[in-house]
Amino acid sequence: MLRIPWSFALALCVSSLIGCASWLPAPTPMRAVDHRSAPSAEPARCLLVLLPGMGDDADDFVEQGFVAEVQRRQLSIDMVAAQATLGYYAKGTFAERLYQDVMRPRLHRKYSQVWLAGVSMGGMGTLLYARSRPSAEVSGVIAIAPYLGDEDLIDEIDSAGGLARWKAPARVEPTEDTWQPELWRYLQAVTQGREQGPLLHVAYGSKDRLAHADSLLAAAVPKAQVYVSAGEHKWVTWRALFARFLDESALAERCGKR
């Protein structure tokens, strides 16, 4: 079971200067909110799962314009915003609850493609979930300003000359102590074609506090799958990057208009 340490949860809370009490609950089932990209009697080709950042919730994808960005393009996409808040990560139930409560009830619709999009903590969540599930389940991800681990590990990868040259540890089941290097090991294996995985897209603002780590991942994926702006770690930056992703990525081709 992948459990994000409580020390990490506390560090996130302290760094954001906001209390954590309302985030740490992880109720079963995980709440989810469905949205359609356009009114149509035809079933959508694709499912897009939206994962919020720390302190955000499923409803923010409407309030911050993500749902509208998909809808105005009239893509053949059903969306579901998951209430995947900090408590699920801290308690080690994130991947299981996302599958059981959000993914599984919708996969019977037999979508041709399933994509994940997440911001900040949710960007990390897209990668953690992809690692935890069979490779055929998730077609692609867009990790927007993802949190990718402690700075010590990030510096180690950078000092090695980047993800491609970093000496990754052997594959292990992630624990509180190993989930960060295991995530990077997985990302290295997928970007080098040694393991199957989804089509990886990375997006971040160059002034984002997480840009150092995100740039290391971005350097390992094709340039066409990287989106960078001058923005900070804010929704206004994330929405603009998400809009570029919708226009320029394989998602539009694979999940075109109804």
Query: What class is the 6-254 domain?
Result: alpha beta
pLDDT at 35 over 50: yes
Per-residue pLDDT tens for 113-149? 999 999 999 999 999 999 999 999 999 999 999 999 9
pTM of the predicted model as reported, rounded to 2 decimal places: 0.91
pLDDT at 15 over 80: no
Per-residue pLDDT tens for 150-206? 999 999 999 999 999 999 999 999 888 899 999 999 999 999 999 999 999 999 999
Token pair in block for residue 27: 């109720």
Query: Any idea what DSSP says for residue 98?
Result: I
Strand segments, DSSP code E, in the chain are 32-36, 46-51, 77-82, 113-119, 140-144, 199-205, 226-229
Per-residue pLDDT tens for 61-85? 999 999 999 999 989 999 999 999 9
pLDDT of residue 91: 86
Tell me the mean pLDDT in the region 22-50.
87
Per-residue pLDDT tens for 224-257? 999 999 999 999 999 999 999 999 999 988 998 7
> What residues does each domain of the chain span?
6-254
